[in-house]
Amino acid sequence: MAGLELLSDQGFRIDGRRSHELRKIQCKLGVFSQADGSAYVEQGNTKVLAAVYGPHEIRGSRSKLLQDKVLVNCQYSMATFSTSERKRRPRGDRKSQEMTMHLQQTFNAAILTSLHPRSQIDIFVEVLQSDGGNYCASVNAATLAVIDAGIPMKDYVCACSASYLGDSPIVDINYLEESSGSPEITVAVLPKSEQIVFLEMNGRLHEDNLSKVVDMAVKGCKDVYGVLDRTVREHVSQVGSSLET
Amino acid sequence: MPTDSRRINGPEDSFDPSVLLVDKKTREKILRDGKRKDGRKPEQVRPIFLKAGIISQARGSAYIEQNETKVMCAVYGPREVTKKEEFSMKGQLTCEFKFATFSCRVRRQYQQDNEERDYSCQLQDALEPAVRMDKFPKAQVNVYVTVLQNDGSPLAASLTCASVALANAGIEMYDLVVGCSARITPSEVFIDPTESEDYKAENDNEAGNGSVTLGLMPSLNQVSAITSKGEVEFELLNKGTKQCVDVCQKLYPVLQQAVAKAVEDRLSSDHVT
Amino acid sequence: MAEVDLSDAEKIFIKHGVQDNCREDGRGCEDYRHIELETGLLSNTTGSARVRLANTDILAGVKAELGTPSPDKPNKGRLEFFVDCSANATPVFEGRGGEELAAEIGNILTRTYDCPSCFDLEALCIIPEEQCWILYVDVLLLECGGNLFDVASIAVKAALYNTKIPKVTVSRDEGLVELEISDDPYDVQRVEVQSAPCIVTVCKIGHSHVVDASLKEEACCLARLTMGVTERRTVTGVRKEGSGSLDPASLEDMMQTGKRVGELLNKSLMDSLLEEERQGSKKKPVGFLK
């Protein structure tokens, strides 16, 4: 990409952020009334809706039933108009299926699954607009939705991506940075215990720099946690005060 | 639409030349002078040939011919519902509408396309009010409609044909359903349009053009289906539906006769053997 | 869609209410519920709108792409509808569960827009037989609270109103055609939606009929009539749905009601779209954060 400078000499990125700065995160709990829990997250220009149903009886075939824990069922889909080039199908393609699987693994690790044996929790994620970091925004939205549904978890799950540009790591990369060919690391952590529940890397990165980038991503996750936690507290106090009156 | 992977399809970028030969004269004539190509009056239907009991394997069947529009229909069942989750104390009616590949000017595909699926739904919505679904709980009746040749008003002909086939199959019904369609121009209503008279979005650019198809249960005097295309004035749409209702009432004896004739035939053949 | 299971007594209650022109939520038979509308909330699209009516939430996005016109309509652009029922609305829609409903909504939208006099496709043509704009109208159903068809049509009309297609200049150079697409966000072509239809669904309940039925009312209704109504009071794409039948006199009444209500609906929709446009950039985008 000629003429496109991803990192200026002054250390500013293409959207004006510094290397350690996240995009603006805005979120809301309880967007829908029919779902048991729902949330909406905006990370810069990436916009994601999540809805949670459950825990409820297993739907469909009983063979999926687990005797000792809850079945976490996820679906990741992208609106056909979410990308700059129109998508033909909202789900069912390989990428969405992979995302679905990753979400499932992440939330299996975070939800206290043994509390609801022989039942099912549905987590549905819908990407309305995509500008890089879809997975991170999806995880963050789904966490809020699960909290909104009142399902017990070990901790929030916060996800953040990071990359390595020039000779410094950058956090929360957008679509342009994602598609520039630089490596991408996506991490989901449980911030309090600092456990990593999901880690994925694309592209090529020198071994020496790996820990720097992962540290950057984990730091990003903790920043995300701050924002999510504040939103949840505000939401709960709002709901609480409306109950009092 | 999913592509047909079982058969050899034509090249993707070919198209039928007949789309370029629009029958402009007939269109202009019907719009300008209110005259029809085959000399019919605006409210006159084409002659109808209707026969029930033509497919021996099917439980019931019927064939209808309105000049060049030819439709046949077969009814199977009531038979067991195989899927467990679709259990219901009411019966089920399924309809499948298909244009034969050679039936239209442009070749049709073997697989159902969107238009055919839409017609299937409409057929089902139109027949359900007439059939006594409570009489075959946990079972389903399948209706298969095939258009052999399409020269306008295929849905109306299919409705008539399917209801006669259902009666022929001995499915209990409240009433038969008679179909009729009308072409609406900015000034007039033409009953039972042919293919060249019928409304097409790509050729009729002025407002006020459209068509309406109606299904009527004559002895109950209930409308079981109505569907329209195009943009039409409300008054003309109303006039069109009224005329369709009248025509359906007039056609009713033809259906009764066909059903009765099939029963007579069956009785006499039983008598011989 | 929250499952609605009504007992016979509840159904009778609703039917009798409708007969006396008083519905379960206090509305009259020809009243709509409160509608919220916002346009231009997705920057990746050429036009977008979100409509919320009670619990029904629909997001529509329009994307303009260049393509070739179909051979039987060489001087017209194309309008393609795609409806997706998100599993967010109900777990039943997971996987391919929502496809049937999606196809039904898509068919009705296609049918009501399928007349040259109510939506001008010729304006979308760039070079006859060679280049035209294809408008992909994608409708995303996020939550169901009844009356999906009407809301979908309102969202589509609003999204088309919001659509701004970049201007294209054609230059011919030694037989080669060159298209230059303007990247100035103010050098755009608008889509004419003045005469585009809105769908009105009239539900027959007992001996009367209502518009904008709630989920409970939909459960009591055997036959409903969907009709596209334009501002000029013309009717596009009527269709009876459901397993019930109607007598000719009440059919006429229902169409009258649909026409009357549709005219008002179109008018108030255009008014609010113009109002929103007048606020221009002063208005802060709300989206889902409200």
pLDDT, tens only, A128-169: 999 989 999 999 999 999 999 999 999 999 999 999 988 889
Domain ranges of chain B: 38-272
Q: Using 50, 70 and 90 to split pLDDT, how confident is the model at B85?
A: low
In this structure, which topology does domain C8-280 adopt according to CATH? Answer: Ribosomal Protein S5; domain 2 (3.30.230)
pLDDT, tens only, B199-251: 877 666 677 888 999 999 999 999 999 999 888 888 899 999 999 999 999 99
What pLDDT is attached to residue B137?
86
Give yes or no for residue B17 having a pLDDT over 80. no
Bond into C197 cis (ω within 30): no
pLDDT, tens only, A55-70: 998 887 778 888 899 9
Point out the residue among A51, A86, A130 whose CB comes nearest to the CB of C63.
Answer: A86
Q: Using 50, 70 and 90 to split pLDDT, how confident is the model at A2?
A: very low
What pLDDT is attached to residue A1?
45
Q: Report the distance separating Cα B150 and Cα C35, nearest Å.
A: 44
What residues of C are in contact with residue A27 (Cβ under 8 Å)?
A: 289
Give yes or no for residue C191 having a pLDDT over 60. yes
Q: Give the chains touching C; criterion: ≥3 Cβ pairs < 8 Å.
A: A, B
In this prediction the pTM is 0.91
CA distances from B266 to B146, B176, C185, C232 (A): 24, 20, 75, 56
* Strand-strand pairing, C35-39 and C198-205: unpaired
- Other Cβ atoms less than 10 A from the Cβ of C209: the count is 24
Could you give the dihedral angle defined by the CA atoms of residues B77, B79, B85 and B87, in that order, rounded to the nearest 10 degrees? 90
Q: Report the distance separating Cα B226 and Cα C111, nearest Å.
A: 14
Burial B35-58 (b: 16+ CB within 10 A, else e): ebeeebebeebbebebbbbbbeeb
* Strand-strand pairing, C78-85 and C131-143: parallel
The domain covering B38-272 belongs, at the CATH homologous superfamily level, to GHMP Kinase, N-terminal domain (3.30.230.70)
The helix/strand count (H/E) of chain A reads as 4, 9
Q: Across-strand partners of C39?
A: C49
Q: Using 50, 70 and 90 to split pLDDT, how confident is the model at A180?
A: confident
What pLDDT is attached to residue B260?
94
Point out the residue among B122, B223, B232 whose CB comes nearest to the CB of C247.
Answer: B223
Domain ranges of chain C: 8-280
What pLDDT is attached to residue B73?
96
- Other Cβ atoms less than 10 A from the Cβ of B125: the count is 24
More confident residue, B24 or C241: C241
pLDDT, tens only, B47-62: 999 999 999 999 999 9
Answer whether C211's CB lies under 8 Å from C262's CB: no
Contact A126 C57 (CB under 8 A): no
C260 to chain B: nearest residue by CA?
B234
3-class DSSP state for residue A109? helix
| The two three-digit tokens of residue B44, written as one number | 């006159």
What pLDDT is attached to residue C181?
84
What residues of C are in contact with residue A77 (Cβ under 8 Å)?
A: 84, 86-87
Give yes or no for residue C1 having a pLDDT over 50. no
Interface test with C, best of B219, B223, B241, B243 (most C CBs within 10 A): B223
Contact A82 C44 (CB under 8 A): yes
Dihedral over Cα of C221, C224, C226, C229: its sign: negative
- Range of lowest pLDDT (A107-111, B55-59, C175-179): C175-179
Q: Determine the angle formed by the axes of helices C99-113 and C148-162, rounding to 10 degrees.
A: 60
